[in-house]
Each structure stands twice: as C-alpha cells, then as structure tokens.
C-alpha cells in the first residue's frame, strides 16, 4: 500500500525549497496513495491540496488544516463526506468521480460557512431523484454546484420542497447501501476465487500435483530459457484474458483490484523478462607491451565525479568510473600540474608544464650511418673556448682605402647631390677671382 511519506512531500515541495512546515500548496496527484495521513501535522499552513487520481477510500486527517481553501479529491474511492468540519476556510471542494452514495453526509459541510463551490459529478448520488434540490436546500452558503450557479429562485423552491425531497433521498440511500453490501460480498468472493486459482497455479509450477512432476520440471528447465519464457508468456496471456473479459461492476473494490493486478503483473514482468545485466568489460588502458592507449568513455562531465591523474607520459580523467586517457607527446611535471573547471564554459582545464627532456622512441642506429670526423672534433671542442687569430705573414690583404681614386669618390654616398652641385659650380666659375675686400652680395 502506497502511503504519504515525508520524502514524498519534500520532493513535491521543490517550489518551496523543499520546506514543508511553511508549505501553502502541494500536488500529490497520481501517486497511487491509499491512505490520507500526516499532512495535518507536517503542513499546517496548506491552502491548496491536490490529491486527485489516487486510491483514497476515506477523508481523514485533514481537520487541523485551518487555512485550507481548496481540496481536490477527484477520482478516488471516497464513499462518504466526513471529517472536514475543522477546515474553517474551505471555499472549494472537488469530489468528482468518486463513489459517494450517502448523499445525506453533505450535512457535515454546514459547518464550512465559507464553502462556495462543490463538485459531485460522476458520483452515484447524482443519480438520485431530487439530488440537486436536496444539496441546494441543505447548504445555504453554497454558490455553485457542479459548475452551475445556484439561483435565488432555485433555492427558495428547494427549501419549500425540502421535507419531501429529504424523505426520497433517504429511501434511495437505503436502496443504494443494500446494493453496495452485495457488491462488497461479490468482490470478496471474486478475490478469494482468484487467490485460490493463483495458489493452484503456483502448486502446479512447483510440482505438487504428481510425484513425477518434479522430474518433468527439471527436464523442462534444461530445455532452455527461451522455451520457459514462451510458456510463461502464454500462461500470462490466458490469465490476462480471463481477468479483463470477466464482467465486473465499477466499484471501489474493483478499482483497487484492477490497480493491484496491474502492479502485480508489472513486477512479475520485470522479474521474469528483465534481461540479465551483462558485466561490462573494463577498457584497456595499457597494452601488454606497456603501451598507453587513448581512451574516451565518459559522456557527462560532473565536477564532483571527476578524478584527474597526471603522469609523466599520459593523463587520465575518470568520470563516474569511465576513463578518458590521452598519451602526451612530451614528458610533463605531474607535481607542478593543476586541474581547474571553468565557471563560464564548464570546460576542464588541465595545465601541465613540460619537462626538459623529450621522449624519443628507442631505435637501433643503422650501421650505414656513422658519425663523421668533423662531428667528433666539434664534440671534443665543445668544452673549450676558441679565439680567431690571423698571421699577417701568411696572408696578404689588399689596402681597401686605395682601391678607388679620390676624385671618383666625390659624389658617392649619401651626399651625392650636394657634391655634384659643388663640382658644377666650380666648373662654371673657373675664371672667377675672389676679392676679400668686396663684401658678399647676400
């Protein structure tokens, strides 16, 4: 039986930071709940409570919810309206598609003076003659019944005929209660028959019917899992066909029985047909020749599940036990390495400073290649300091200052234009005499 637990309430209170003591609204619909409890102790400030589409048979443990304004109990197994007198602020009550047959139980709602809306569509009591008149005349504070507004004239007329309508309602209630008693007996009989039939099937499977059945069972098991699976499937199909084709009245018992049957089949199917989980082979990170491989298995990156291992020749990152491994082209310093997670992009940044030496593959030197004498001499001289010396007796160097005549040098270099201008002036005024006593023109 599914019950309301603190863990369930906290999970459904995510909008309130999982705090339940100050919770004002919660939705517990479609949780297969079979008993209403604990909410009046854990969530005293509740104003809106959704409990539709469950298996709740009785309204209980909500009387201390003084601030409750809206209660939705549609699609449950409720047969009577009760235990709501303490919900002083209740304004809206939804009991759609339940099994309420005791219509006179609505008289307990007289104490909910703020109740304005009531929904009883889909209940057996709505088929009673005078149903609406009885509800309208009983609950004076009500404004809407089954989404239809209650007119003033409708209430006046219902009050005038109230004694007669009330008597008819009681008679119809008695007939309904007798019918429900028979339905409960029929449900008990059907449940016992199904239980006996199931026990016989179990005995047949275990081999209690005949002395030689145990040997037959062992022989059957040896034939293979496939045949066993087929046999069970055929048997389940036969049982399903019998269960679903059997005519059954729609009652709280049949609804609960259907739910439990479906749940039982689902669990049996999971236990029988669930494939065996194959053991996952561990990935090969290092070969037998001690060669490190590149591996990438993780799909999701979560900082709390990361384990970074930096070695001199490779880096390995484990995410949920799945390795991501890279071989490095050069040696690094593991002690000086660091791993950080980027807060903007989410990328994992691993900094690994290089070591001085470079990894070289071990190869044998070819016999055809030999080091030359020059290389050997250079290797020997690498540790000595050498200076360049020139002996003038052995080498003769030309005098570079006398290669070009002086007049040919005039006009060369960066002052070429100025030299040409001066030489041109001297050429034009070759007969000019400079008299020092004559002042210059400019």
For 110, 401, 419, 420, 422, the CA distances from 416, given in Å and listed in that order, are: 123, 19, 5, 6, 10
Check whether residue 168 and residue 301 sit in a common domain. no
Choose one of 353, 379, 403: the last residue of a domain: 353
**CATH number (domain holding residue 28):** 3.80.10.10
pLDDT bucket at 141, cuts 50 / 70 / 90:
very high
Highest mean pLDDT among 51-65, 263-277, 282-296, 379-393: 51-65
Q: Write the DSSP symbol of residue 263.
A: H
Rounded Cα distance between 261 and 240, Å, is: 9
* pLDDT at 302 (0 to 100): 60
Residue pair 98/126 in contact by the 8 Å Cβ criterion: no
What are the start-end ranges of the E strands in 88-236?
A: 92-94, 117-119, 144-145, 148-149
Rounded Cα distance between 340 and 306, Å, is: 11
Q: What is the mean pLDDT of residues 25-53?
A: 93
**CATH number (domain holding residue 336):** 2.60.40.790
Give the residue numbers spanning the domain of 297: 290-353
Choose one of 178, 201, 227: the last residue of a domain: 178
Strand partners for 119: 94
Instruction: Inform me whether the pLDDT recorded for 211 exceeds 60.
Output: no
Rounded Cα distance between 358 and 105, Å, is: 90
Helix H or strand E segment including 307 = strand 306-310
Residue 374 belongs to some domain of the structure: no
Question: Between 61 and 435, whose confidence is greater?
Answer: 61
Residue 202 belongs to some domain of the structure: no
* pLDDT at 214 (0 to 100): 45
* Number of domains observed in the structure of the chain: 2
Check whether residue 15 and residue 157 sit in a common domain. yes
Instruction: Tell me whether strands 314-319 and 348-351 are parallel, antiparallel or unpaired.
Output: unpaired
Instruction: Inform me whether the pLDDT recorded for 432 exceeds 70.
Output: no
Mean pLDDT of the residues in the chain: 78
Instruction: Inform me whether the pLDDT recorded for 270 exceeds 80.
Output: no
Check whether residue 23 and residue 163 sit in a common domain. yes
Residue 307, phi then psi, degrees to nearest 5: -140, 105
Residue 139 belongs to some domain of the structure: yes
Residue 342 belongs to some domain of the structure: yes
pLDDT bucket at 145, cuts 50 / 70 / 90:
very high
Residue 54 belongs to some domain of the structure: yes
* pLDDT at 272 (0 to 100): 65
Rounded Cα distance between 372 and 282, Å, is: 52
Instruction: Inform me whether the pLDDT recorded for 405 exceeds 60.
Output: no
Check whether residue 171 and residue 306 sit in a common domain. no
Question: Between 407 and 99, whose confidence is greater?
Answer: 99
* pLDDT at 389 (0 to 100): 60
Residue 113 belongs to some domain of the structure: yes
Highest mean pLDDT among 202-211, 230-239, 280-289, 334-343: 334-343
Choose one of 118, 153, 178: the last residue of a domain: 178
Helix (H/G/I), strand (E/B), else coil: 129: coil
* pLDDT at 417 (0 to 100): 47
Residue 170 belongs to some domain of the structure: yes
pLDDT digits (tens, 9 = 90+) for 239-261: 778 777 878 888 888 888 888 88
Shortest CA distance to 94 belongs to which of 124, 49, 60? 49
Alpha-carbon Rg for the chain, nearest whole angstrom, is: 50
Residue 53, phi then psi, degrees to nearest 5: 60, 55
Residue 389 belongs to some domain of the structure: no
pLDDT bucket at 209, cuts 50 / 70 / 90:
very low
pLDDT digits (tens, 9 = 90+) for 177-202: 999 999 999 888 888 887 887 777 77
Check whether residue 159 and residue 302 sit in a common domain. no
Check whether residue 14 and residue 152 sit in a common domain. yes
Check whether residue 162 and residue 302 sit in a common domain. no
Check whether residue 154 and residue 301 sit in a common domain. no
For 71, 156, 178, the CA distances from 101, given in Å and listed in that order, are: 20, 25, 11
* pLDDT at 153 (0 to 100): 94
Strand partners for 50: 27, 72
Rounded Cα distance between 421 and 426, Å, is: 9
Q: Is 194 exposed, middle or buried (0-12, 13-18, 19+ CB in 10 A)?
A: middle
Instruction: Inform me whether the pLDDT recorded for 148 exceeds 80.
Output: yes
* pLDDT at 422 (0 to 100): 47
Check whether residue 170 and residue 38 sit in a common domain. yes
């Amino acid at each position: 039986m599914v019950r309301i637990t603190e863990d369930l309430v906290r999970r459904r209170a995510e909008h309130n930071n999982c705090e339940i003591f100050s919770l004002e609204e919660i939705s517990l619909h479609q949780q297969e709940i079979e008993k209403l409890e604990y909410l009046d102790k854990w969530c005293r400030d509740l104003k809106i409570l959704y409990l539709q589409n469950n298996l709740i048979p009785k309204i209980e443990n909500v009387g201390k919810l003084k601030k409750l304004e809206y209660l939705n109990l549609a699609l449950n197994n409720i047969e009577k309206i009760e235990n709501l007198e303490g919900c002083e602020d209740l304004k809206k009550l939804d009991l759609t598609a339940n099994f309420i047959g005791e219509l006179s139980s609505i008289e307990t709602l007289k104490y909910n003076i703020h109740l304005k809306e009531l929904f009883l569509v889909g209940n057996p009591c709505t088929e009673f003659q005078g149903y609406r008149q009885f509800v309208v005349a009983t609950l004076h504070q009500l404004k809407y019944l089954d989404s239809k507004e209650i007119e003033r004239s409708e209430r006046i007329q219902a009050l005038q005929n109230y004694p007669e309508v009330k008597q008819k309602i009681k008679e119809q209630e008695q007939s309904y209660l007798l019918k429900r008693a028979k339905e409960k007996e029929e449900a008990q009989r059907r449940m016992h028959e199904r239980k006996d039939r199931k026990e016989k099937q179990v005995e047949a499977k275990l081999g209690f019917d005949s002395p030689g059945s145990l040997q037959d069972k062992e022989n059957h098991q040896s034939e293979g899992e496939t045949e066993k699976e087929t046999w069970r499937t055929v048997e389940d199909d036969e049982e399903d066909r019998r269960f679903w084709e059997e005519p059954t009245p729609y009652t709280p018992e049949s609804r609960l029985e259907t739910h439990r049957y479906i749940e039982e089949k689902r669990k049996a199917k999971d236990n029988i047909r669930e494939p065996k989980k194959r053991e996952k082979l561990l990935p090969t990170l290092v070969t037998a020749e001690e060669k490190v491989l590149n591996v990438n298995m993780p799909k999701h990156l979560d900082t709390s599940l990361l384990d970074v291992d930096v070695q001199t020749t490779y880096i390995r990152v484990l995410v949920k036990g799945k390795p991501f491994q890279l071989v490095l082209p050069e040696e690094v310093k593991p002690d000086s390495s660091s791993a950080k997670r980027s807060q903007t992009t989410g990328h994992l940044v691993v900094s690994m400073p290089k070591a001085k030496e470079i990894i070289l593959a071990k190869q044998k030197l070819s016999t055809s290649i030999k080091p030359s004498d020059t290389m050997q001499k250079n290797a020997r001289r690498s540790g000595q300091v050498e200076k360049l010396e020139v002996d003038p007796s052995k080498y003769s160097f030309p005098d570079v200052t006398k290669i070009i005549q002086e007049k040919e040098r005039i006009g060369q270099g960066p002052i070429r234009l100025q030299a040409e201008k001066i030489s041109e002036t001297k050429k034009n005024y070759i007969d000019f005499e400079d008299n020092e006593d004559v002042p210059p023109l400019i």
